[in-house]
Structure 1
Amino acid sequence: MENLGHWIDGKRVPGEAARQSDVYNPATGEVQAKLALASRDEVDAAIAKAAEAQVAWGATNPQRRARVMMALVHLINRDMDKLAEALSREHGKTFPDAKGDVQRGLEVIEYCIGAPQMLKGEFTDSAGPGIDMYSMRQPLGVVASITPFNFPAMIPLWGMGPALACGNAMILKPSERDPSVPLMLAELCKEAGLPDGVLQVVNGDKEAVDAILDNETVQAVAFVGSTPIAHYIYSRATANGKRAQCFGGAKNHMIIMPDADLDQAADALVGAGYGAAGERCMAISVAVPVGEDTADKLIEKLVPRVEALKVGPYTAGDDVDYGPVVTAAAKQNIERLVQTGIDQGAKLAVDGRGFSLQGYEDGFFVGPHLFDHVAPDMDIYRQEIFGPVLSTVRAGSYEEAIGLAMSHEYGNGTAIYTRDGDTARDFANRINIGMVGVNVPIPVPLAYHTFGGWKKSGFGDLNQHGPDAFKFYTRTKTVTARWPSGIKEGGEFNFKAMD
């Protein structure tokens, strides 16, 4: 059995603390590795070494830092299959989905090759008599990223790329459920030319997180995970004087108008609702058809599509639509919420309970579930399920449908399916949600735009990747300079000219 530790000063090191965590293969339910959990002292030591390494890295010009990003792009592409296989083995995603996880992170690294352009300041010539004024963007120093289990390649790369390209050192604390890919990415960073100590990967649980939040050397913290933890990290980080961006849970609605292409909408709902076993913060978990006729026709199209979904291990290749959920506890929570939905009166149009896969009976597989006639006061509507469960809430009108999304406590993503441009434009303008899709089910922006939710889905005023990332990982310094002018004969300054 493999023993996993940390990445400190450019090499893998075993943990010094006695505590360990099990890393499972979700398809079999077997423990495949033991992970060392860092103590507070180990975290503090890693931060101190990162601070030492950051001085020279921060003084390196942006173009040379961008060359490291360029080399990293090549290396990730070279090892794409290797990274995806390790990701699937620990997370459970299908192999194509795992490659997509790596690819979306890679796109942010590609964007970071443009760091010299993003870090340019501003200049005003002759702001006053003999006075020039200019600003510069400088690194914060040591920053931290605390990343979730559901995207063990993408989210670490979303933080690492901009933070390192800006000249910071980073402490990466990945999820203890699937830690191998972040360690592999650290190795690739070293191969790309990143100096030792600039990226430290510290594995751990709450003790490691609190050590990061309390260490005064850490200037900024980024987090992605559940809303309660996002709020906790944001509150503790900001109370300790740190900059913070923390993204939490979601309950993403897709509104289906009567004029929508229902086949297109049904296909989109199946992909967005059940892909990656629903373990995505941008998954569509609520379908809102407008009008009874629209709802009846949509359910009629959804049922056979959902029933035809193939669930299995990533080793089955392209024959699988989605794999297991990440842990036995996650499976139990999904099954509990499904039963709650039934108990509270929702109609289970597709029943995935009792799903079992021959040869993988101990795996964490959950069959696909489709609910109809879900009411807004039900637990399956209010809570984030994070599993292969789609709830259908029927709306009598467009105003009722948009009101459902706007009144929900989460505001990560939403979508509308319609052929009417005026309706789509009104929806995009009025909705109080951070990312909006028009006939696009999962509206995750590309790397050169920013990603972030509203309401209880996001804490902090700067988003992930895109221009916001370069603002988050730097601070602005503005210089006002005046030089004396008017030289007298004999080389003496005319100091009155300075007045």
Structure 2
Amino acid sequence: MYSVTNLIDGEAVASQSGRESAIFNPATGEQIGTLGLSSDAEINQAVACAKAAFPAWAATPPAKRARIMFAYAALVRERADDIAREISREHGKTHDDALGEVARAMEVIEYACAAPELLKGEFSRNVGPGIDTQSERQPLGVVAGITPFNFPAMVPMWMFPMAIVCGNTFILKPSERDPSAATFVCQLLMEAGLPKGVLNVVHGDKSAVDCLLDHPDVKAVSFVGSTPIAKYVYRRGTDSAKRVQALGGAKNHMIVMPDADMDQAADALMGAGYGSAGERCMAVSVAVPIGEDTADKLVNALKPKVEALKIGPSTDETAEMGPVITAEAKDRISGLIDSGVAQGADLVVDGRGFSLQGYEQGYFLGGSLFDKVSPEMDIYKTEIFGPVLSILEPQSFESAVKLINEHEYGNGTAIFTRNGDAARKFSSAIEVGMVGVNVPIPVPVAFHSFGGWKRSSFGSHGIYGPEAVHFYTRLKTTTTRWPEGIPQGAVFTFPS
């Protein structure tokens, strides 16, 4: 049994609140650790340390900040296996999947190394007689990140490298379900040479979130989680005059056109639907084959693959899918499968009865596959966040696009086709933030930005990439004229 502590002003600090949360191994169901839940006073201490560190860090040249990020990238690369083990121990995802999470985080760190280029201002000479104008991006101050359980290392590293390299100081509040990986990657940044107080980690539950949202010295908040909580974070944060980017839930569809290679489409759906036990905001949870013949071919291709899924703990190198995060999540997913059956969907593969010898108390589910799903069913409307794939069967491309556009979520979507016209029309017409053409999980690379539409995102900025630079900085424009160019006499008309 181990204890996870806060990281405040560069030091590991155990919470003295007297409140704790248990940490479980999802593969065994056993408690493996405890997490102290921070009091408001402890969070205020972290914010105060970050505020004190801000002036010197903001004045640090971007090239020097970038050198620390280069050192950090080297450490993350060197310790990737260790980070992946931390992820898998508390989350349950396979080791290879956890390594993939680290690799995608690395891309953002590498992008942050370009700070001197990213933060360059603009200059215009002679915008008027003897008048010059320059603009620059300046950091906000203390900013915070509130991150989810499903990517316990990657999502924090989508936030704090960009915020810090822009000159801000950062408070991270990770998920209390799997906090060790986030704490570990922050400790590595300390090891890379980050000054004390620039990055702090506080652990807690809703009271910690509210404290950060209300704190007057926290200037911006980044959040990733469910849509109801994202909406709450956005409203409460903006009511406190903060910048907020709050990424919420998803129901991602993949259209399969009649001309698609059905084996390729089925393989793509397996990875996108069942990878990480479906606990991804970019998971494809709805397949939309066009026409009955395409649907029949797709179901026939998928059924044996779902039945053959290799499920096991992260220590099993052959496992393709691990457990879900908690016993409560397992029960909720099973209940949604029950509702799909009760509401008339065809359960082609049932994952509810799966049991793994030696891991009977673990939070394992097999893959489930539904056919004949309709838009009014709960399994279609709800983000299941588990290993459940639903198939709807619209009769035309146009009706499929209409179906996707009418859903409340607009995070990611994909189309599998050989038809360039269909792909181009789909990319243009679809009301979704991230689109894949023959790419099932279209998560943008780090030098673009990640962000959904509709109820999948609250706020005007995407996460990481160029959007992050704009979110974590504010624009200042200076217009200059020197005395010898100033005309005599007062001017009362608006300057032009």
| Shorter-chain TM band | over 0.9
Distance 1:103 1:498 in 2: 61
Find the counterpart in structure 2 of residue 10 from structure 1. 10
Superposed CA deviations along residues 276-317 of structure 1, whole A, max 9, x for unmatched, are 000000000000110000001110110011111011000011
Unaligned runs of 5+ in 2: 492-496
Find the counterpart in structure 1 of residue 459 from structure 2. 460
Superposed CA deviations along residues 346-369 of structure 1, whole A, max 9, x for unmatched, are 000011121100000000001110
1:97 aligns to 2:97 (yes or no): yes
Find the counterpart in structure 2 of residue 356 from structure 1. 355
1:497 offset after TM fit, Å? Answer: 10
Contact 1:162 1:469 in 2 (8 A): yes
* 1:54-73 correspondence to structure 2 within 5 Å: 54-73=54-73
SS of structure 2 residue aligned to 1:475: strand
Superposed CA deviations along residues 104-146 of structure 1, whole A, max 9, x for unmatched, are 1111000000111111111111111221111111000000000
Question: Given residue 261 of structure 1, which amino acid in structure 2 is its aligned partner?
Answer: D
Find the counterpart in structure 1 of residue 22 from structure 2. 22
SS of structure 2 residue aligned to 1:89: helix
Question: Given residue 221 of structure 2, which amino acid in structure 1 is its aligned partner?
Answer: V
Find the counterpart in structure 2 of residue 448 from structure 1. 447
Find the counterpart in structure 2 of residue 422 from structure 1. 421
1:264 aligns to 2:268 (yes or no): no
Distance 1:120 1:353 in 2: 54
Superposed CA deviations along residues 449-494 of structure 1, whole A, max 9, x for unmatched, are 01000000000111011100000000011111111228xxxxxxx9
Find the counterpart in structure 2 of residue 383 from structure 1. 382
* 1:80-479 correspondence to structure 2 within 5 Å: 80-317=80-317, 319-479=318-478
1:495 offset after TM fit, Å? Answer: 8.2
Unaligned runs of 5+ in 1: 487-493
Question: Given residue 324 of structure 2, which amino acid in structure 1 is its aligned partner?
Answer: V
1:49 offset after TM fit, Å? Answer: 1.1
SS of structure 2 residue aligned to 1:387: coil
SS of structure 2 residue aligned to 1:314: coil
Distance 2:365 2:144 in 1: 34
SS of structure 2 residue aligned to 1:316: coil
1:184 offset after TM fit, Å? Answer: 0.8
1:372 offset after TM fit, Å? Answer: 0.3
Decide which moves more: 367-376 or 37-46: 37-46
Distance 1:184 1:262 in 2: 42
Distance 1:85 1:5 in 2: 18
Superposed CA deviations along residues 29-73 of structure 1, whole A, max 9, x for unmatched, are 000000000111111111011100111001101010011110100
SS of structure 2 residue aligned to 1:280: coil
Decide which moves more: 41-50 or 163-172: 41-50
Superposed CA deviations along residues 145-181 of structure 1, whole A, max 9, x for unmatched, are 0000000111000101110000000000000011111
1:31 aligns to 2:31 (yes or no): yes
1:496 offset after TM fit, Å? Answer: 4.7
Distance 2:457 2:171 in 1: 21
Contact 1:273 1:389 in 2 (8 A): yes
Distance 1:414-1:495 versus aligned 2 partners, 3 A rule: closer
Find the counterpart in structure 2 of residue 491 from structure 1. none
Q: Provide the TM-score with structure 1 as the length reference.
A: 0.97
Question: Given residue 424 of structure 1, which amino acid in structure 2 is its aligned partner?
Answer: A
Question: Given residue 347 of structure 1, which amino acid in structure 2 is its aligned partner?
Answer: D
Decide which moves more: 449-458 or 180-189: 180-189
Contact 1:417 1:438 in 2 (8 A): yes
Q: Provide the TM-score with structure 2 as the length reference.
A: 0.98
Superposed CA deviations along residues 408-450 of structure 1, whole A, max 9, x for unmatched, are 0000000001110000000000000000000110000000001
1:187 offset after TM fit, Å? Answer: 1.1
Question: Given residue 452 of structure 2, which amino acid in structure 1 is its aligned partner?
Answer: G
Superposed CA deviations along residues 311-340 of structure 1, whole A, max 9, x for unmatched, are 1000011x1011000111110100000000
Distance 2:450 2:3 in 1: 35
Distance 2:183 2:306 in 1: 36
Distance 1:267 1:183 in 2: 35
Question: Given residue 280 of structure 2, which amino acid in structure 1 is its aligned partner?
Answer: R
SS of structure 1 residue aligned to 2:444: coil
Question: Given residue 107 of structure 1, which amino acid in structure 2 is its aligned partner?
Answer: E
Contact 1:139 1:473 in 2 (8 A): yes
Moved over 4 A (4+): 494-499
SS of structure 1 residue aligned to 2:276: helix
Distance 1:291 1:24 in 2: 45
SS of structure 1 residue aligned to 2:316: helix
Distance 2:239 2:304 in 1: 51
Question: Given residue 326 of structure 1, which amino acid in structure 2 is its aligned partner?
Answer: I
Contact 1:484 1:497 in 2 (8 A): no
SS of structure 2 residue aligned to 1:360: coil
Find the counterpart in structure 1 of residue 47 from structure 2. 47
Find the counterpart in structure 1 of residue 494 from structure 2. none
SS of structure 1 residue aligned to 2:347: strand
Distance 2:296 2:132 in 1: 68
Distance 1:54 1:105 in 2: 24
Distance 1:383 1:420 in 2: 31
Contact 1:348 1:372 in 2 (8 A): yes
Contact 1:120 1:136 in 2 (8 A): yes
Find the counterpart in structure 2 of residue 78 from structure 1. 78
Distance 1:36 1:100 in 2: 29
C-alpha RMSD of matched pairs (Å): 1.2
Question: Given residue 349 of structure 2, which amino acid in structure 1 is its aligned partner?
Answer: V
Distance 1:164-1:110 versus aligned 2 partners, 3 A rule: same
Q: What is the number of residues matched between the two proteins?
A: 491
1:498 offset after TM fit, Å? Answer: 11
Distance 1:331 1:201 in 2: 29
Distance 2:272 2:375 in 1: 21
User: What percentage of residue pairs aligned between the two structures are identical?
Assistant: 59
